[in-house]
């Protein structure tokens, strides 16, 4: 039972989220399978089924435009995993995609349980609470969708666990795999790469940090190079993002303007909730940074979270998707998990239950009420 605990916690929290989504989908005249595979989910399933050159012609970017290079905006790791499951199991793309997300979520859950034990002041209870909190994160509904977050989360969490254990080859391999899944892997590469550089220069672990350092960037750099070759432009992938989704790094100017407008007008529950999530993430980053300075939190965990926030908050694009873009910053919740673990079990469970219900409603409301929320 102890070995299965992370699986059970993750499944229980996500079951509440999916049931809430089903209830809200029915209330809005939508099908649950449609809600679980909307927007980018359709792109990823289309690439899994037909490759980059044979995606369904009805798929378009955020500007309702479709160019030859538009599918290249999506990294290949998740579609490749879906295509593999589809081939092996002989099932439809949607079911294959949901299977990949579920399995990856369970792998991530077990990594989170390990991470909660490895940090200073950590424990088995802290690890399991971390699993529950991450599963119930704002927009945690995406863990259960045909999106790439679950697969990226699994790679990233285990890369950090391997880094803390100084299992350098595993750290390099999982970082490389993460690089094929999402551009957010740049934050992971920064965290793991920094640890690899320190280990390599100290010569404490022989050749392994050097080999891992050569391996870690292959996924991210390799795909960006491929897109550059396909488009004939060095910044090919970034150009696709600018043209199709108006997404580019602006230092956070657009995010600040969006937050000001929302707080001044109170336009909607979703937008106010999104701003609250962004502010909460920044507060948790400060908490993590202070703990790291006191030696209470390993610095790679903080660097990774800071990198995810910098990429998510510092870019232009669809503002209502910001909460989803911050989802991979799972390590922000480590201090919360360790603090809850010191409370009475009943208190911790009631708090987790409340967070689970709030997350389930917020994610379901976002998907069924707001077409551009993810």
Listed by start position, the domains of the chain span 5-246+348-369
Reduced to 3 states, what is the DSSP secondary structure of residue 251?
A: coil
Q: What confidence category does residue 286 fall into, taking pLDDT thresholds of 50, 70 and 90?
A: very high
Dihedral Cα 39, 43, 45, 50, nearest 10 deg: 160
Query: How many CA within 13 A on the CB side of residue 272?
Result: 7
pLDDT digits (tens, 9 = 90+) for 60-79: 888 888 889 999 999 999 99
Per-residue pLDDT at 203: 85
pLDDT digits (tens, 9 = 90+) for 291-300: 999 999 999 9
Helix (H) / strand (E) element for 63: namely none
Contacts of 256 (CB under 8 A, 6+ apart): none
Helix (H) / strand (E) element for 315: namely none
pLDDT digits (tens, 9 = 90+) for 128-184: 999 999 999 999 999 999 999 999 999 999 999 999 999 999 999 999 999 999 999
Per-residue pLDDT at 160: 98
Contacts of 47 (CB under 8 A, 6+ apart): 55, 71, 74, 76, 79
Per-residue pLDDT at 306: 97
- pTM here is 0.95
| Both tokens assigned to 124 | 């088995």
Instruction: Report which of 63, 45, 62 is spatially closest to residue 54, judged by C-alpha positions.
Output: 45
């Amino acid at each position: 039972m102890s070995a299965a605990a992370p699986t059970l916690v993750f499944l229980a929290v996500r079951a509440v989220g999916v049931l809430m989504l089903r209830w809200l989908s029915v209330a809005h005249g939508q099908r649950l399978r449609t809600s679980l595979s909307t927007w980018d989910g359709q792109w990823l399933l289309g690439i899994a089924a037909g490759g980059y050159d044979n995606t369904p012609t009805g798929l378009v970017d955020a500007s309702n435009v479709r160019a030859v290079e538009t599918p290249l905006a999506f990294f290949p790791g998740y579609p490749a995993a879906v295509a593999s499951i589809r081939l092996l199991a002989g099932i439809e793309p949607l079911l294959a995609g949901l299977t990949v997300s579920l399995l990856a979520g369970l792998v991530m859950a077990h990594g989170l349980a390990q991470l909660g034990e490895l940090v200073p002041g950590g424990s088995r209870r802290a690890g399991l609470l971390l699993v529950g909190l991450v599963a119930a994160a704002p927009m945690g509904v995406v863990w259960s969708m045909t999106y790439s977050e679950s697969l990226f989360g699994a790679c990233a969490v285990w890369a950090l666990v391997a880094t803390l254990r100084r299992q350098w080859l595993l750290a390099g391999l999982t970082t490389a795999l993460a690089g094929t899944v999402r551009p957010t892997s740049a934050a992971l590469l920064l965290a793991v790469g920094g640890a690899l550089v320190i280990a390599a220069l100290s010569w404490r672990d022989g050749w392994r940090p050097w080999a891992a350092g050569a391996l870690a960037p292959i996924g991210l750099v390799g795909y960006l190079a491929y897109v550059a070759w396909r488009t004939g432009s060095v910044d090919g992938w970034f150009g696709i993002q600018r043209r199709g989704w108006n997404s580019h790094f602006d230092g956070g100017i657009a995010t600040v303007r969006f937050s000001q407008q929302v707080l001044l007008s109170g336009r909607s529950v979703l937008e106010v909730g999104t701003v609250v999530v962004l502010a909460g993430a920044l507060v948790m980053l400060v908490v993590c940074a202070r703990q790291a300075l006191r030696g209470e939190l390993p610095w790679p965990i903080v660097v990774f979270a800071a990198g995810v926030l910098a990429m998510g908050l510092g870019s232009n694009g669809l503002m209502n998707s910001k909460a989803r873009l911050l989802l991979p910053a799972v390590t922000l919740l480590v201090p919360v998990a360790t603090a809850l673990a010191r409370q009475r079990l009943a208190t911790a469970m009631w708090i987790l239950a409340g967070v689970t219900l709030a997350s389930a409603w917020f994610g379901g409301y976002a998907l069924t009420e707001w077409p551009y929320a993810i």
